Chain A
């Protein structure tokens, strides 16, 4: 596709359930980032994939959060045993070089 896509666009779940959020980066982009944007806050870095290197997971807030990137393309962010404080917009971005990151539209997660 022409840009970064994310699915679903909205996800409502109950506290304690697991959720999976998907990101399709721009074809050929070697770097993929996940961020979290909570209401009224800036972007919080979560995890970064670069080519075949080990991902930088330093931003993951707890061990309930994990992410995979299969075949250097699609990425899935998984949140286990969701809590209400996990409610946020989860943004994915991809890049080929450091001069530009392309963002997807985000997934709005609501934990009831």
Chain B
């Protein structure tokens, strides 16, 4: 079945850029997502990218998709302490009209002041 993998931890200094990486196995995934989870909260959708795109930029966030390598990354420019959270990558698997989201284990981003 579909599998999504992420590194578990990332630590950066405030003001630096953060890059969180993700790999997935199902080449037919049509949408790929990045979610943010702050302590004690549910997941918040940050951004998503359609599989026919290579890049998507939204303010401080840049998503890069390498479909050939099945690699997705999230770059956060000018990282702030408020960006400290767990970031989940997810891929959409579609089967006969049903939509199932496969999530990675999450990357815990720690921003050092």
List chain A positions with a Cβ less than 8 A from chain B: 4, 31, 33, 35, 41-43, 45, 48, 50, 53, 56, 91, 93, 95, 98-106
Of the 9-residue stretches B13-21, B63-71, B100-108, which lies at the interface with chain A?
A: B100-108
**Which chain B residue lies CB-closest to A48?**
B100
> How far apart sit A56 and B44, CA to CA, in the bound complex (Å)?
24
**Which chain A residue lies CB-closest to B105?**
A42
Residues of B contacting A43 in the complex (Cβ-Cβ under 8 angstroms): 43, 88, 103, 106
> How far apart sit A35 and B37, CA to CA, in the bound complex (Å)?
14
Contacts A98-B30, A100-B48, A105-B42 supplied; 11 other A-B pairs, CB < 8 Å: A35-B103, A42-B104, A48-B100, A50-B99, A56-B98, A91-B42, A98-B99, A101-B33, A102-B45, A105-B41, A106-B42
A41 touches B105 (CB 8 A): yes
Chain B interface residue count, CB cutoff 8 Å, equals 24
> How far apart sit A103 and B46, CA to CA, in the bound complex (Å)?
12
> How far apart sit A103 and B35, CA to CA, in the bound complex (Å)?
10
Residues of A contacting B45 in the complex (Cβ-Cβ under 8 angstroms): 100-102
Residues of A contacting B101 in the complex (Cβ-Cβ under 8 angstroms): 33, 45, 101
Is B77 part of the contact surface with A, judged by Cβ < 8 Å? Answer: no
A42 touches B98 (CB 8 A): no
Residues of B contacting A93 in the complex (Cβ-Cβ under 8 angstroms): 42-43
